[in-house]
Amino acid sequence: MAWHDGVRETRVLIGPCNKNDEGECGKAEGRILSLRHPKSGTPTCYIFGNESLQELHWFKQAYGSWFIGDYVSEDASLFISTPFDPIFLFLPVFEEARMKKSHDQGMFRELNEILFVDGYPGYQHLLSIAKDSIELICEVKEIGASKFFRLDDSKVLAWLCCKISNLKATLLTLDRNFAAREEAETLNDAVSLLGEYINDAWLKTLCDHMNLDLDAVMRKTLPAAPRRNPPTFSPTSRGSRNGNGKRASEKPSKKKPTDQVESKNIRDMFMRATRSGSKIAKR
């Protein structure tokens, strides 16, 4: 897939199938956007296409490669894209945009203005899906033909509770271990998972609303997540001898084994065992 203009390095991506009217998977097209992670604020890669947003995960093994037709990609990275609710991304942006003060709920602003995030032009591509979902967490005022939005705390809390309910139901279907657990444990797991995508202030608000111990939720051990940001790379032509790709017909360069010492020890061990066996047979 082409990551951006001028880059033709081949990568392997597994993502949702976009089916056409006949139920067949069509050609997948999308744009990679660099957006702020909703919890940490660090630049994170997402895929936007067909009016949907997907989170991009990156897996990398120490050794490996991909065989793609008659082409060998030396980069053994595996990218997986999963559907992602854009409201998680909008939440911190709208919270900053309203400029809330202690006794003031903040300002109403137009959507174009809110999604103008300095250093992140990718947010402008999300205008179309923001119009369809942002009223779930915002108050709306209409003046003439214009709409103005302001984050609404009560709507955000209701939306978060709905997410928790959906997560709990999903966790119970994963396997028997989850189904056999106490409801309180499943609730803690759901809140911990959701906490990876909301800031600590909203996590505290959610825990207070559900009468949960915030410290216990934050200490919850979760499986290690794959890396979300792929490494940077320079543009190369597909199948270039000087780039990262090689044709399958080319012979790989010989490399010295990194475990010669261990191999020698194993070989010696078998040689000693053979000699001992020979001596026993002679006896």
Lowest mean pLDDT among 51-55, 123-127, 184-188, 261-265: 261-265
Please answer whether residues 186 and 178 qualify as being in contact, where contact means their C-beta atoms are separated by less than 8 angstroms: yes
Q: How does pLDDT run across 67-114, given as a tens digit for each residue?
A: 877 878 777 788 888 999 999 999 999 999 998 887 788 899 999 999
Domain 12-83: which topology?
N-terminal domain of TfIIb (2.20.25)
From-to residues of CATH 2.20.25.530 in the chain: 12-83
Nearest to 123 by CA among 139, 133, 112, 138: 112
pTM over 0.85: no
Beta-bridge partners for 36: 43
Q: How does pLDDT run across 27-38, given as a tens digit for each residue?
A: 667 788 999 999
